[in-house]
């Protein structure tokens, strides 16, 4: 019995030590990625190098290489983190805006499921618009990961990033499918619709630089609403309902902060 007890004590100690090491590693990974984001926000994406990051963190360059093999691996981890953060933020916001309210809390008759389902799709676009305005650096990283035609990463690193991107797009596709199931949209390929929807919304948001150059000609917010309404109508929504969905989604979002809490599972190199 003493031998068994001794073995159990050793096993428990090893488990605790391993757990502490894992927590310490996750904390260091979080420190690396957070500092890298600050560096990008201050100096731009092209300024990110392992050497500059090590200097900012007061680390030896070799210490960083124990976590990331190079800039590609670091950039892939950043993109994966930003996508995970945004996915969690969007899901939390959708749950707050469209989660079922207790019967006692309802002061008016609930709207039809089709209206709520259509509004949720419009809400996704509005959430992304607000996110782009509040976090332009992170928005750029998402746009690079999902829409940049240049090959910024090798196939292995790009594959890791794409998995996070597909998780986000898959969640959006589920909302598009719910709208179709509820009768707010005509039946169709939810994933194909999501890809067109997302690329269109992102394309309009990327035109914000043109608005700064020609503010009297280009109104991004108006173009954004027009694009979302046109897309919803193209998928079968009635125009009046589509316009109402966008207006209500914007009102709902005004009461919900864009939360960017770090996901519980950190991305290691």
Q: What is the CATH number of the domain that holds 237?
A: 1.10.357.10
- Asked if residue 127 and residue 11 are part of one domain, the reply reads no
- State both tokens at 111: 């709207």
Q: Count how many domains the chain has.
A: 2
Residue 176: domain span: 82-254
> Do 25 and 149 lie in a common domain?
no
Provide the strand spans (E) within 139-200.
none
User: Are residues 231 and 111 both part of a single domain?
Assistant: yes
Q: Say if residue 125 is in the same domain as residue 56.
A: no
Same domain membership, residue 121 and residue 49 = no
CA distance 115 to 238: 11
pLDDT tier for residue 196 given thresholds of 50, 70 and 90: very high
26 and 113 share one domain: no
- Distance of alpha carbon 94 from alpha carbon 74, whole angstroms: 30
| Number of Cα atoms under 13 Å in the Cβ half of residue 262 | 12
Q: How far apart are CA 153 and CA 77, in angstroms?
A: 11
Q: Considering the domain boundaries, does residue 265 fall inside one?
A: no
Contact 26, 268 (CB under 8 A): yes
- Whether 74 maps to a domain, the answer reads no
CB atoms within 10 A of CB 77: 23
> d(Cα 253, Cα 45) in Å, to the nearest integer?
29
For the ranges 81-95, 150-164, 209-223, which has the lowest average pLDDT? 150-164
**CA 249, CA 124: separation in Å to the nearest integer?**
8
Residue 63 near residue 229, CB atoms below 8 Å: no
Across residues 75-102, what is the average pLDDT?
A: 85
Q: Is the pLDDT of residue 152 over 60?
A: no
Domain-terminating residue out of 65, 96, 113: 65
Say if residue 213 is in the same domain as residue 106.
yes
Answer whether residue 21 shows pLDDT above 70. Answer: yes
């Amino acid at each position: 019995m003493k031998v068994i007890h001794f073995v159990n004590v050793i096993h428990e100690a090893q488990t605790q030590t391993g757990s502490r090491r894992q927590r310490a590693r996750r904390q260091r990974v979080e420190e690396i990625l957070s500092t890298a984001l600050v560096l990008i926000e201050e100096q731009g994406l092209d300024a990110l190098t392992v050497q500059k990051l090590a200097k900012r963190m007061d680390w030896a360059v070799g210490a960083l290489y124990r976590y990331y093999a190079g800039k590609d691996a670091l950039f892939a981890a950043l993109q994966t983190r930003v996508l995970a953060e945004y996915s969690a933020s969007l899901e939390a916001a959708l749950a707050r805006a469209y989660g079922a309210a207790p019967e006692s809390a309802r002061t008016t008759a609930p709207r039809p499921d089709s209206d709520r389902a259509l509004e949720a799709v419009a809400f996704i676009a509005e959430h992304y618009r607000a996110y782009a305005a509040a976090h332009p650096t992170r928005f750029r990283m998402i746009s690079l990961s999902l829409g940049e035609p240049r090959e910024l990463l090798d196939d292995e690193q790009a594959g890791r990033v794409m998995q996070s991107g597909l998780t986000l797009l898959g969640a959006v596709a589920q909302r598009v499918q719910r709208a179709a199931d509820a009768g707010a949209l005509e039946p169709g390929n939810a994933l194909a619709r999501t890809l067109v929807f997302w690329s269109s919304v992102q394309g309009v948001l990327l035109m914000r630089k043109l608005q700064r150059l020609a503010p009297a000609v280009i109104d991004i917010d108006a173009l954004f609403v027009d694009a979302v309404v046109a897309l919803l109508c193209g998928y079968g929504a009635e125009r009046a309902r589509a316009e109402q969905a966008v207006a209500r989604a914007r009102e709902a979002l005004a009461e919900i902060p864009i939360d960017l809490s770090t996901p519980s599972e950190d991305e290691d190199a």
